[in-house]
Chain A
Amino acid sequence: MSHSLKRTGTILSFLLPSFIGFIIFVLLPMIMAFGLSFTNYSGGPNFRFIGMKNYVVAFTNPEFLKYLWVTFKFMTVTVVFQIGLGLAFALILARDFRGCSFFRGALYLPNILSSVAVGLAFMFIFEPTSGFMNQFLISVGLPTSKWLAGSKSALSVIITIAIWQNFGYYMVLFIGGLQNISMTLYEAAGIDGANKWKQFVHVTLPGLSPMLFYGVTIAVIRGFQVFDYIYIMTGGQQGGGPAGSTNVLAFDIYLNAFTYFRFGYASAESVVLMIIILAMTFLQSHGQKKWVSYDIV
C-alpha cells in the first residue's frame, strides 16, 4: 500500500463517523423533506403525490406570507442590533483595563444560558399584570404595557430578549478579530494624519471584515430559524403569540407538522425556508468580495 493511499485511508476513517452522522441526520432528512413536500403525507403510509399543490397553497395563503414577513422582521432587527451592539462592546472591551475580563464575561454569560430558561425568566419579568417590568414602570410613574400579551408589543419583547441573549457571542467573536489587527497599521495611519474615525473606517472595519462576514452570516441564519423563544413565551401548542402576532415561519412549520399533522405542507414550508436561507447565504458569500479583506492583517 502506497504512503498516499494509507494517508487517504486514515483521513477517510477519521471523517467517516461524522459523515455517517451527516448522512443520517442531515442529508437523508433533507432529501425526505424535499420529497414529502410534493405529497399529502400526514404521518402514515396512506399518502399520494400531489405535485406543487403544497407550494401553491403556501404562496396563495396570506397567513403564510404574514409569517414570512414576521420572520424577516425578526431576522433584520436582531441581525442589525446583535452585530451593532456586539461591535460596539467589542471596541470598548478589546482594550485591556481593570475589570475588562469581568465585563466580557458578564456580557457573554446570557449566551450560555438555555433559551428555554431565559424565555421562562422573561415571561415573569414581562408578565402583563403584576410582572417586574410593569411594577417598575408604575413605581416611576410611567404607563404600563401588555408586553407579551399585546399583539403589537409581543414581537418587540421577544426581539429584545433575543438581542440581549446573543449579542455577547458576536462581541467575543469581534474582540478576537480586533486583537488580531496589527497595531502597526494604526500607528501608520496615525502618522498619515488619520483621526480615530478614519482609523476605524479604514483599518478596523477592513481588518475585522472576515469576522463581520462570519457574524452576519450566522446571525441571519439564526434569525430565520428562530423558534424556541416564540414557543416558550407566546403560547406553544396553543397557536403562538397573541392573535398570531409572533408566529414566524419555523413556528408555523411546527404547528402544521405536529399539531395539524400536515407533514407534506410543513415540508414544503421547510423547503421554502431552506431556499431563502441558502439564497441569503449565497448572496452574502458572493457579496463578500466587495467588502471583506483577508490580507489586511
Chain B
Amino acid sequence: MRTKKILLVLTLIACLASSVFAAGASETKAAPAADGPVVISYYTWDDSSHKALIDTFNATHKDIQVKAQILPAADYETKLTTLLSGRADIDAFMEKRQVDMFGQYDNGYLEPLDSYIAATGKPNPAVEAFKSSSVINGDTVVIPWRGGAYYTYYNKKVFEKAGVPTPDYYVKRGEWTWKKFEEVAKAITAADPSLVGSTIYIWGGQGFFQAGQAGDSIVTPDGKIDNIDNVVKQLEMRKRLEDVGAMWSLVDMKVTKLHYSKQFYDGNVGMLLIGEWFPGQMVTGRNDGLLAYDFEDWGITRLPCDQSEYVTVGLPTGNCITSYSKKKQAAFEFINWMSGPEGAAIAASYGVLPAAPGEAAKAEIAKNLPKGNSLDYFLEEKGNNTANFSPYGTRVETEFAKLQEDFLLGNINIEQFKTNFTKLLNDIIKTTY
C-alpha cells in the first residue's frame, strides 16, 4: 500500500516536472510542413490592418502560410525581447520600436536581407525610400511596409468656431512655420477658452520634431552629442502654449492616460501633430461612431517647418527575419509581399500610409481621407529626417521625457534644462556598454 503511495507521489512529481519542460518545448517546436505549405511563425501586435494583411496573404498563397502570433500592443517590445532571448519559434516579426533593432542586431538576432533582395533582381522600393533607417552597419535588416511621416491634422469646425484660417492656408502661402503654429494655436484658445489650440503627445520623441527637421541627431550613432538648440526651442514653445491652455498639458495627458485620438475625436482640439497612421484611427473612429463631428470636418497638411525646403520626421515600421529561422526564404517572401504593391493596397484601405505606395494604394488612401487637399499633402514627395535613430534612442527619449516634465512643471528653468540634458546625454553615452 505504502509502495503504491510512494509510486503515486513520484508519478505526480514526474508529471509536474514534465509539464514544466513541455510547456517550454511547445513554444519552440517548429510547425510541421512536411508535404503541405511552409508555415512561418510571424509575430506582430493587435491591429486590424496587420490581421488583414496576413489573412490576404494566406488566402492568395498556397505554398506559404503565415501563422500569426498576436501580442498586445502595450507590451509588445518587452515580450518580443523575451521571446527572442529564449530563441522562441519566430521566423519573422514586426518591429514596433525601431531603435530596438540596434540591440537585436548586436545580439545577432537579425538576418541581413541584402542577398534576398538582390535575388529578386531589383531594389526594394520601400527600403530605398527609407534607407537610413533600414540599414545598420551596411546590412539591410528591415523591410519597411508602413511609411514614417508626421503631419498636422486639424479640425475644420474648431477653426471655423475660432474664426482662424486652417493650417493649409498658411502652407499654401509658405508661412507654416513653428512660430505660425504657435500663433494659430494661441488664437484658437483665445477665441474660445473651451477649445485647446493644439496637441503634441507625451512620447519623448515628440519633443524632437524641430531637431529632426533640422537634421540634428541628439546623439549620433557613434556616440557624440549633437546640437540640442532645436530641442530647447520646441520645449520652450510647448511651455508657452501649455501656460495659456493652447496645448494639452503633457503631464496631465500622461497621468490620466488621455490618448491623442480621444482628444481629436471629441472635437475640442484644433491641431494634432501625429504620424501617418492616424487616418487609420480616424476611419476606426468613424466606423465606431466616436467622432463628435462629420468625417469631412478634418484635414491633413504639412508639419510646421522652419527649414528652407519642407521636411518632415518619422521612422517607418517594418518587418525583420530572425537569423536562426529555418524558413528564411519563405519569411522573406511574406515580408517582401507586405511591402509590395498588393500589401500596400491593403494597408492603404485601412488608412495606413504604405512605405512604397503604388497607384492602387493611392486610390485606396483617397477613400479614407476627407475630400479636399488632404490627399495631396499626405502623399506629396517630401524629405524625411529621423532624429534619434541610434543605439541610444530609447534611453534618450525616456530620460528626456522626465527632464521635459521637470521643466514643464516649473521645477527647473531652461538653463538648468540645457545643463541637465547635456549631462544626461553624456551619462547615457558613457553607460551604454
A residues with a Cβ closer than 8 A to B are 6, 9-10, 13-14, 16-17, 20, 24, 40, 42-46, 50, 53, 57, 61, 123, 127-129, 146, 148-151, 154, 233-240, 242-244, 255, 258-261, 265
Contacts and interface: CB of A to CB of B under 8 A. Distances in A.
B401 A238 contact: yes
Given A45-B107, A128-B255, A17 B12 contact: yes
Given A128-B256, A151-B406, A9 B16 contact: no
B10 interface: yes
A37 to B, nearest CB: 14
Given A151-B411, A260-B395, A6 B2 contact: yes
Interface string B79-114: 001101100000000000000100110111100000
Interface string B383-405: 00000000000110011011101
B251 interface: yes
B431 interface: yes
Contacts of A265: 431
Nearest to A25: B20
Contacts of B108: 44-46
B398 A255 contact: yes
A154 to B, nearest CB: 8
**Interface-central residue, B100, B109, B254, by most chain A CB under 10 Å:** B254
Contacts of B158: none
Interface residues of B, number: 48
B26 interface: no
A96 B82 CA distance: 53
Given A44-B103, A235-B254, A242 B13 contact: no
A10 B2 CA distance: 9
B6 A243 contact: no
B254 A128 contact: no
A61 B409 contact: no
Contacts of A235: 254-255
A43 B85 contact: yes
Interface in B198-254: 202-204, 249, 251-252, 254
A14 B13 CA distance: 9
Given A42-B103, A151-B405, A261-B81, 6 more contacts: A17-B16, A43-B81, A128-B251, A239-B401, A240-B402, A259-B77
Given A127-B256, A128-B255, A238-B202, A261 B103 contact: yes
A218 to B, nearest CB: 29
A246 to B, nearest CB: 10
Contacts of A44: 84-85, 103-104, 106-109
B137 to A, nearest CB: 14
B34 interface: no
Interface in B89-146: 100, 103-104, 106-109
B309 to A, nearest CB: 33
B59 interface: no
A20 B427 contact: no
A24 B20 contact: yes
B100 A261 contact: yes
Contacts, number: 121
A150 B410 CA distance: 10
Please give me the 8 A-B residue pairs with the lowest Cβ-Cβ distance, nearest first.
Answer: A44-B107, A243-B406, A13-B9, A243-B405, A244-B402, A258-B78, A149-B255, A239-B398
Given A13-B6, A151-B406, A20 B13 contact: yes
Contact of B6 (A9, A123, A239, A240): A9
Label chain B's interface by main secondary structure.
helix
Contacts of A129: 252, 256
Interface in B55-85: 74, 77-78, 81-82, 84-85
B16 A20 contact: yes
B268 to A, nearest CB: 13
Nearest to B399: A239
B398 A123 contact: no
A22 B403 CA distance: 41
Contacts of A148: 255
B106 A42 contact: yes
A258 to B, nearest CB: 4
Contacts of B81: 43, 258, 261
Contact of B17 (A14, A20, A127, A150): A20
A6 B3 CA distance: 10
A185 to B, nearest CB: 45
Interface string B353-379: 000000000000000000000000000
Given A123-B257, A238-B202, A242-B405, A259 B84 contact: no
B255 A243 contact: no
B16 A42 contact: no
A110 to B, nearest CB: 22
Given A20-B13, A123-B257, A149-B255, A46 B405 contact: no
A233 B82 CA distance: 25
B129 to A, nearest CB: 28
A259 B251 contact: no
Contacts of A40: 433
Contacts of B254: 149, 234-235, 238, 242
A178 to B, nearest CB: 40
Nearest to B427: A61
B401 A151 contact: no
Nearest to B401: A239
A127 B258 CA distance: 11
A253 to B, nearest CB: 13
B151 to A, nearest CB: 23
B304 to A, nearest CB: 24
Contacts of B16: 17, 20
